[in-house]
Amino acid sequence: MTGENILRDLGGLDADLIAKAAPGEKIAKKPHKWIKWVAAAACFALMTGGVLILPGWREEAPLESTASDCSESSEISGPTEIPTWEEPRYTALEIADLFAVKDNLGTNQYQRIYVPDSKDLPLVAPGGEDYLGVYRYAQKGIPLDKNELSAFLDSVLPSLTDSLDITLPPYEIRERERYGGRERVYEYLEFGEHSRYSLNFEQSETHISVGLSDVRDKQGIVLDGEIIQADQRLTDEEILDSLQSVKNKLCRIFGVSFTKEKVVRRYSSDSKHGVVDLLVYFYNETGHPLERYGEILSDYILIRFDNFANYDGDIVSDGVLTVASVGYRKYRTPLAESYELIANAGLISLKEAEELLFNGYAFGGHYCPLCMDAQEEVSFEGYEFVGMEYYFGEEDDGSALVIPFYTFYKEIGTSQNGNKVYAKTYVSAMPLLGYDEYLESQKTDHRR
């Protein structure tokens, strides 16, 4: 009997059934305490004839609360119904459920960060705030609109192919069924001599995007006779300066104007060359507080320089990078408005965070409930750097709770390519309950 057929038949279960039964997925969604609070406040508002408004962050009414001394107070605005959390709202286990076990995003164990130098660490220093916003991310979609997509493509593709000096082959947009609660249409084309370029575009309920890649010959993307390239040996500012002409062309092609720009470099442990990839973003600021922590919340253009070998003959470089892809993402519903401020949370001090860290009360120790790899223990005593970061705890329905963490970095060695290796771990910037229970659960769950 080949009984594995049985298991293979079960392998054909639908993706949503598989996803919601995954290890660590919540069995039944318990309302968050803030939801209970909101419900209670709503009842109270109704009983008293008042109105409860949970505004987006753009509401301009001043916030009257203890958060008035918060550095965000000029940015976080809205009626007084936005609560201020002075006391713990979550247990460490609840946070672990959101951030560690469920999504395997890395807070079970400390992360390894590879950089040539400490100045390359992507961290945002804590601003000394007493309060920071807690957000609920839930991007609403709107129905697909063929006319909108056609108009977008009609406005973009002619100027793009003109700049590439290539004629686009005929194409059709394939429909897709609704899947996972969302719907989208997309198309993928390869075109040019020897299928030099690939072009993909799509319309989902939340955005339209188009991406152009240098697929096969790795000759680089050439716009109006100018190759898109970046010299990774330059500073970020110098790279951005060198790409101004390309930026102007891309903005013209996509019909946009972006005032902000930034470079993101990613490194690995084993590449003998510099960056693994180098990303250049052109975008706009929206004024949302999360932008301070590196989030891009507007439409954007992204140029990505790859620096690794996909195929034989690929050139990996220590200097000038030419293998690029270009993408443009246009949100159909404003992304920034998808981040709803649900509370201003009182933060623990850096000193209190250090105490938690030194006692092991961090999300990112060497115990892991799920994985098989045990990490070497790292003492964060004498850590080198501290940052502040928002973490996205995704829920089953695609929404997310967005809450602040302190991040601590400790150098733990040098990788084979000479990059410095930092261990990175997280300590909740909000006070939590039940740390001991959380730690014990990690120990007992490991390798179960």
Partner 1 sequence: MEDEQIVDLYWARSEAAIAETEKKYGRYCRYIAFRILQNDEDAKEIVNDTYLKTWNTIPPNRPDQLKPYVGTVCRQLSLNRYEAQTAQKRGGEVGVLLAELSECIPDRSGGADIGESVALRDALNRFVRSLPDKTGRIFVRRYWYASSISEIAKEYAMKESSLTVLLLRTRRKLKEFLSKEGFDV
Q: Which helix (H) or strand (E) holds 387?
A: strand 385-394
**Closest among 14, 183, 36, 97 to 394, alpha carbons compared:** 97
Packing angle between helix 146-164 and helix 244-254, nearest 10 degrees? 140
Over the window 289 to 328, marking each residue x when it contacts partner 1 by CB under 8 A and - when it does not, the resulting string is: ---------------x-x-x-x--------------x-x-
Instruction: Kindly state the smallest distance separating residue 201's Cβ from partner 1, in Å.
Output: 10
Nearer to partner 1, 196 or 356 (CB): 196
Q: Which stretch binds partner 1 (CB under 8 A): 140-148, 209-217, 225-233, 356-364?
A: 209-217
Judge contact between 281 and 264, C-beta under 8 A: yes
Binding status of residue 371 toward partner 1 by CB under 8 A? yes
Instruction: Kindly state the smallest distance separating residue 355's Cβ from partner 1, in Å.
Output: 29
**C-alpha to C-alpha distance for 419 and 112, rounded to whole angstroms:** 11
| Residue 358, phi then psi, degrees to nearest 5 | -70, -20
Q: Of 157, 251, 256, 370, which lies in the binding site for partner 1, with binding defined by CB under 8 A?
A: 370
The angle subtended at Cα 105 by Cα 212 and Cα 309, nearest 5°, is 40
Judge contact between 264 and 410, C-beta under 8 A: no
Q: Which residues contact 337 (CB under 8 A, 6 or more apart)?
A: 56, 57, 58
**C-alpha to C-alpha distance for 22 and 102, rounded to whole angstroms:** 8
Binding status of residue 194 toward partner 1 by CB under 8 A? no
Instruction: Kindly state the smallest distance separating residue 20's Cβ from partner 1, in Å.
Output: 6
**C-alpha to C-alpha distance for 136 and 139, rounded to whole angstroms:** 10
Residues 158-177 that bind partner 1 (CB under 8 A): 176
Binding status of residue 219 toward partner 1 by CB under 8 A? no
**C-alpha to C-alpha distance for 393 and 400, rounded to whole angstroms:** 5
Binding status of residue 204 toward partner 1 by CB under 8 A? yes
Q: Of 92, 144, 239, 276, which lies in the binding site for partner 1, with binding defined by CB under 8 A?
A: 276
Beta strands in 180-228 (DSSP E): 184-191, 197-204, 207-214, 222-223, 226-227
Judge contact between 143 and 204, C-beta under 8 A: no
Binding status of residue 191 toward partner 1 by CB under 8 A? no
The angle subtended at Cα 298 by Cα 296 and Cα 301, nearest 5°, is 80
Q: Of 149, 368, 378, 388, which lies in the binding site for partner 1, with binding defined by CB under 8 A?
A: 368
Instruction: Kindly state the smallest distance separating residue 93's Cβ from partner 1, in Å.
Output: 12
Q: 3-class DSSP state for residue 54?
A: coil
Instruction: Kindly state the smallest distance separating residue 295's Cβ from partner 1, in Å.
Output: 12
Instruction: Kindly state the smallest distance separating residue 30's Cβ from partner 1, in Å.
Output: 12
Q: Which stretch binds partner 1 (CB under 8 A): 88-96, 197-205, 252-260, 375-383?
A: 197-205
**C-alpha to C-alpha distance for 420 and 126, rounded to whole angstroms:** 23
Binding status of residue 9 toward partner 1 by CB under 8 A? yes
Q: Of 60, 92, 106, 318, which lies in the binding site for partner 1, with binding defined by CB under 8 A?
A: 106
Judge contact between 283 and 261, C-beta under 8 A: yes
Q: Which stretch binds partner 1 (CB under 8 A): 121-129, 147-155, 363-371, 382-390?
A: 363-371
Binding status of residue 417 toward partner 1 by CB under 8 A? no
Nearer to partner 1, 176 or 292 (CB): 176
Q: What is the DSSP letter of 97?
A: I
Number of residues that bind partner 1 (CB under 8 A): 62
Residues 229-268 that bind partner 1 (CB under 8 A): 266, 268
Residue with tokens 């004839």: 49
Interface residues toward partner 1, by CB under 8 A: 1-25, 27-28, 103-106, 108, 176, 179-180, 182, 184, 186, 188, 198, 200, 204, 209, 211, 213, 215, 266, 268, 276-277, 304, 306, 308, 310, 325, 327, 368, 370-373, 448
